[in-house]
Structure 1
């Protein structure tokens, strides 16, 4: 049974950006994540051990951003996808949008979208 699970509007503060003020003061980023996987075993067992724990995914994504203090959303997105593939064997695909709501005053947010398939270059 193939499907997807994920997170909508995961929000946290971190240092991210290229401008001097962005390197000094944490800013809010928002993240939407959708991961594809076969969750037949999880549906049958009702056991989180048979799926990808989205609470743990949220924790890992926030920790990665805070520890690395990225300059570019693009770099964070790529490394976040790699981390999720490494940590969760059940994930077959990742779709992620990361937004910086305060990056451009005249815009609601700047953003990066990525889509990755396990094993694809």
Structure 2
């Protein structure tokens, strides 16, 4: 029987709606206490399935993603959402199977007439 190669496959890990409390902002009132952020992350993976088996050792374990975000926030005050998501993107690209990452951050309590205000970054691994 002919075996079909899927070496061109790209898998996407999606994390949606991670709510965190972070010390973030440039204004004096933002330094008084943490703010609620909602984060979304997409990780595009190259050859995430190493052998097609149905076990954790055959895929990219995505537990690192949540840990990386919480570790970055725990480091202390961040001036801008742009810096936060850039740092998260860098940590995601430390995982060799990640070829591209999109990170979005939204502050949910800034404007009374807006559900949120945020930024999104897509970063691709340089060859």
Report if TM-score (shorter chain) is over 0.5. Answer: yes
What is the Cα deviation at residue 41 of structure 1?
Answer: 1.4
Which stretch shows the higher mean deviation, 71-80 or 47-56?
Answer: 47-56
Could you tell me the TM-score, scaled by structure 2's length?
Answer: 0.83
Distance 2:62 2:111 in 1: 30
Tell me how large the CA RMSD over aligned residues is. 1.7
- Partner residue of 2:126? 119
The answer to whether the aligner puts 1:39 opposite 2:34 as a matched pair is no
- Gaps in structure 1 of 5+ consecutive residues: none
Report the count of equivalent residues: 118
Counterpart secondary structure, 1:70: coil
- Partner residue of 2:5? none
Distance 2:125 2:100 in 1: 6
- Partner residue of 1:110? 117
The structure carrying a bigger helix percent of its residues is: 1
- Gaps in structure 2 of 5+ consecutive residues: 1-8
Could you tell me the TM-score, scaled by structure 1's length?
Answer: 0.87
